[in-house]
Structures are given as structure tokens and as C-alpha cells.
Amino acid sequence: MKNCEYQQIDPRALTASTTRTPTPSCGRKSSHRLRRKWEVFPGKNRFYCDGRIMLSRQCGVLPMTICLIFITSGLFFTFDCPFLVEHLTIFIPVIAGVLFVFVVVTLLQTSFTDPGILPRALPDEAADIEKQIDNSGSSTYRPPPRTKEILINDQVVKLKYCFTCKMFRPPRTSHCSLCDNCVERFDHHCPWVGNCVGKRNYRFFYTFIVSLSFLTSFIFGCVITHLTLRSQRVNGIIQAVQETPASIAELVICFFSIWSILGLSGFHTYLVASNLTTNEDIKGSWSSKRGEESGNPYSYNNIFTNCCMVLCGPVPPSLIDRRGFLPSDDAPGTVTSDADLPSFMAKNDPNMEENCQEFALSCTA
């Protein structure tokens, strides 16, 4: 028997395809590298850490969001907290620290989580849909229909055909033009978090804006308290401002951001209580102006139930499998011809059966 070096078999490759068999390399090294799906992802996303982190390509505002949060909080902890701890209570920096950590964690979860992207249809699936268009047997080509109607809670809902993803979008799904993906339960594309907001990360987005509104309001109130107490000590607000100019910068940032953040939190609280999305609310999909029969078919007619379904339900798994491996017919371990077989397994070898048994025993050993 010839001395051959055999490649180590990956158990995950065996589970992925039961037709592949181990092939000895006989001293030859393979230059084949398995590619992950994120490397050929069709959408306009950026991937980091080998596909573990995904962001929108237009994510330039996200660093600005992070900088504003860190700068404002850093100034508050450095210049305001020591004075407030000395004259009021030590719980002020503790509360601010908890809110700050909560804001940063939920922001990163919103930005780095798959919002609910649907994989595009395979060529065979797209062709099957197009074959179902014409029932008359005509051989002339027709484009896919733009809509299809289904019933949800005894109400007609129209499904639109996506010409990019080659499929009928599921209910509440929309195609994001910036990310070039169909997102399930699409709410909106938020440049401040650098990602779409959809079914899988909406709860993180909601907790982010609510906690950010609490943090901004808390810092705003504490800075005003700091300036008031300091002005009483030095007998003048002007001298107090001169002693802590950083507090003025905090007041300006908080004053111009608190109104938009509070308004956004209130608007999304209304959406959560109604089980609506921003996309549906802007388009007026279930507006009462369209008649009594156009009510929201996804609402449970109960605020508490709607909030639980939107915020407390289980997070569905990601469907795009961005870190999975691409199937390859010429991957190592696939026998393509008799030349790839060991010499003792050739068809013209009279002792092939005996040598095969010996080869199997050596592999199990």
C-alpha cells in the first residue's frame, strides 16, 4: 500500500452533505478556501468580525451618535457629579451610570443586530413564481404580478412582489432602498443607529430611545441644579458659569436634543400600544379615514397585549445565515473522478475489496 497523507474531515461538512467522501491528498495540498455567505451577500451592507457584525453602508451618522452620548456623559461625570455628590447624594452618578450603560448597550444591539432581512429567492424559486403567472398556457413572457391578496383576521391584505428579491413580500415587509434588502416588519431606516429597524431589533431600538430620553432629561435637570446651587454659593450665575463652562455645553446639547428624543419616544410608544410600524403609520395603511373595515388586522385591541407582543415576545432567528458556508461542488473531500481515488481503490485493482476494508479500518483507528 502506498504511503498517503489523508485530509482531516470536518464533521460539519459531513452533516451538510452526506454524499461527500474523504479523499486522500497523497502529498498534494489544496488551495481551496470555503467562502462564507456574508462575503457574497447581495445587499448593501458592511460586515465586520467575520460576518458577526453587520451595518448599513450609510452608517456615517452612527459615530456622531456615539460621540454625542460619550461627550455629554463624560462632561457630566467629570464636572457636575463631584459637586452634586458633595452637596446632594452619591446616588446621582450611580443613576446616571446605569442609564448610560443601558443606552450604549441597546444602541449597539440595535446597530449590530440583523433587523429581519429576508433571503432573496433562488433562481429556481423565481422561475417557479414566473411560471405561475399565466394560467392560459401562453408562451409569451409576462412580468410577475405586482400584488397578491391574502386574508388576515378576515381582512384582505395585499402582498407586493419585489422585483429585486424575486418574491412576494410577506405581510408587513418592505424593501429598504438604502440597504437593498427586504426587511420583515419593516419600521424605518434609522441613520442615527446605522441600520434598519425591523422585526428582530425593534425592541432594542425602542428601549434605546426611551432610556436615552431618561438619560438626557436626568443630565439636563442635574446640570441646572448644579448651576443653581453653585450660583448661590458665589452670589451670581455669571461667576458660576465661569467656574464650570462645561455645564453650559451640556445644557446646549441636552436642550436641543431632548425635545426630539422625547417626541420620538412618545411617537413609538403610541406605535407599540397600537401594534403599528412607522412605515404603516406614514402610509396610512390602516387609517380610519379609509372606512371602518380598514382597521389594523395585527392589533389585539388591547394596549397591554400589543405591548407584550411587540416588546416581550421571543426574538425570531436570523434567516440569512450570513456566517454559513457557501456550498461548493469542488470542495476538498469530494470525489470527482477515478483519478482522485487512491491507487488501491482503482477499478482495475483485483484486490480492491480487501484494500477498501483495510483503508476503512485505518480511518476508524
The set of catalytic residues is 190
* CA distances in angstroms from 269 to 283, 290, 302, 357, listed in the order given: 18, 24, 14, 69
Q: Of 107, 286, 131, 298, which is closest to residue 206 (Cα–Cα)?
A: 107
In contact, 322 and 51? CB cutoff 8 Å: yes
How is residue 355 written as a grid cell? 484494500
